[in-house]
Amino acid sequence: MYSLKDAWLKMHGCLPYIGWEGNVICDDTDASITFRANKTQGFISAYSFTLVLKGWLSIHYNGVEITLVPGDLYLYLPGLSVSIIASSEDYRGICLLVDERLSLDIGAERNLSGVVFRPVVELREPKLHLPLDAASSIHRIMGQIRDYGASANKSKEGIMRHLYAVFLYELKNYLDVTSVDVAVSRHLEEQYITFLKLLPSNFAQHHDIPFYADAMGITPIYLSRIVRKMSGRTVVDHINDLILSEAKMLLKSTGLSIVQIAERLDFADAPSFGKFFSRMAGVPPGQYRRLSS
């Protein structure tokens, strides 16, 4: 998985400003810029929020084409399998990106982002349609983050991080007002976050539920129930999504052989990896590499 800083470099070729720590960035986007995101979609360890301001944008998500229009907020989770397929020539938006570590390691952001992204985790569309007043408020906060990033303020990294929390509070307020169900058990939420934090450094070597349950001091059955309750998906779904994303990145971005990739991702052999990849991606790994080159 790419860190936010690595993904930004891959998309834009340079950092947004000297000294950027790679935690938070917000910038305007248009039809020519937005397709650069396809270089890292599904492979970036960051949260992303894109508010459509003008025109339209079409994305492919979970086998369905979704069109985003002004007032839509597109939400991206690390590992989410999304691709941008078309946009109007006059498309304009503003995009906020936040490194995953910031949201998982800091309590307020972690809890708020869990609320905000719950509709996406539950496999509904990765977007929220905001009424005009909410869209205007969200746009204003995003604009402040963008402007601080471009400023010479020596404290801008900290200010941008705090504005990200304000952004999440504003979104949570909208979700509360629209009566979206956000009531979750704090204990279950903490357990689920612990599981999510274990995944990035362990999914390649550990594909089994008992490993994560043992690391958390709970039973595999209880872990399965927690993950299902919190996300609507299984533990294996989470693991497989990360394995697939990593496999795609290695096939696209490295010269490793399929045998070497199978070994790196702890498959018994190349045929086992090939069966997994074909089932998950719809094409064999060799064909995916050829199509991606």
Q: What is the DSSP string of the chain?
A: -B-HHHHHHHHHSS-SSTT--SSEEEEEEEHHHHGGGGGTTTTB-EEEEEEEEES-EEEEETTEEEEE-TTEEEEE-TT--EEEEEE-TT-EEEEEEEEHHHHHHSHHHHHHHHHHTHHHHTTS-SEEEPPHHHHHHHHHHHHHHHHHHTS--TTHHHHHHHHHHHHHHHHHHHHHHTT------HHHHHHHHHHHHHHHHHTTT---HHHHHHHHTS-HHHHHHHHHHHHSS-HHHHHHHHHHHHHHHHHHH----HHHHHHHTT-SSHHHHHHHHHHHHSS-HHHHHHHH-
Q: Does the pLDDT value for residue 284 go beyond 80?
A: yes
Summarize pLDDT for 166-210 with one digit per residue, the tens: 898 888 888 765 544 444 456 677 788 889 889 988 999 999 999
Q: Does the pLDDT value for residue 100 go beyond 60?
A: yes
Q: Identify the CATH homologous superfamily for domain 4-177.
A: Regulatory protein AraC (2.60.120.280)
End-to-end CA distance of the chain: 19
Summarize pLDDT for 221-264 with one digit per residue, the tens: 888 988 888 888 899 999 999 999 999 999 998 899 999 999 99
pLDDT top residue among 115 and 87: 87
Q: Report the 10 Å Cβ neighbour count for 279.
A: 10
The residues spanned by each domain of the chain are 4-177, 186-292
Q: Report the 10 Å Cβ neighbour count for 5.
A: 17
The pLDDT > 90 percentage for the chain reads: 40
- To 10 degrees, what angle do helices 235-253 and 209-216 make? 110
pLDDT number for residue 179: 43
pLDDT number for residue 145: 95
Cα angle 22-23-27, degrees, rounded to a multiple of 5: 80
Summarize pLDDT for 13-72 with one digit per residue, the tens: 888 888 888 889 999 999 888 887 777 766 777 888 999 999 999 988 766 788 999 999
Q: Which two tokens stand for residue 25?
A: 């960035």
pLDDT number for residue 184: 45
**Quick check: 253 and 235 in contact, CB under 8 A?**
no
Summarize pLDDT for 146-155 with one digit per residue, the tens: 999 999 898 9
pLDDT top residue among 77 and 268: 268
Summarize pLDDT for 204-215 with one digit per residue, the tens: 999 999 999 999
Summarize pLDDT for 106-133 with one digit per residue, the tens: 555 555 555 555 555 544 567 888 888 8
Average pLDDT, the chain: 83
Up-side HSE of residue 152: CA atoms within 13 Å toward CB? Answer: 0
CA distance linking residue 74 with residue 84, whole number of Å: 11
pLDDT number for residue 53: 94
Q: Does the pLDDT value for residue 135 go beyond 50?
A: yes
Strand order in the sheet with 72-76: 24-30, 92-99, 46-54, 72-76, 127-129
pLDDT number for residue 123: 43
Is the entire prediction scored with pTM above 0.75?
Answer: no
Query: For 186-292, CATH number?
Result: 1.10.10.60
- 93 confidence band (pLDDT: 50, 70, 90): very high
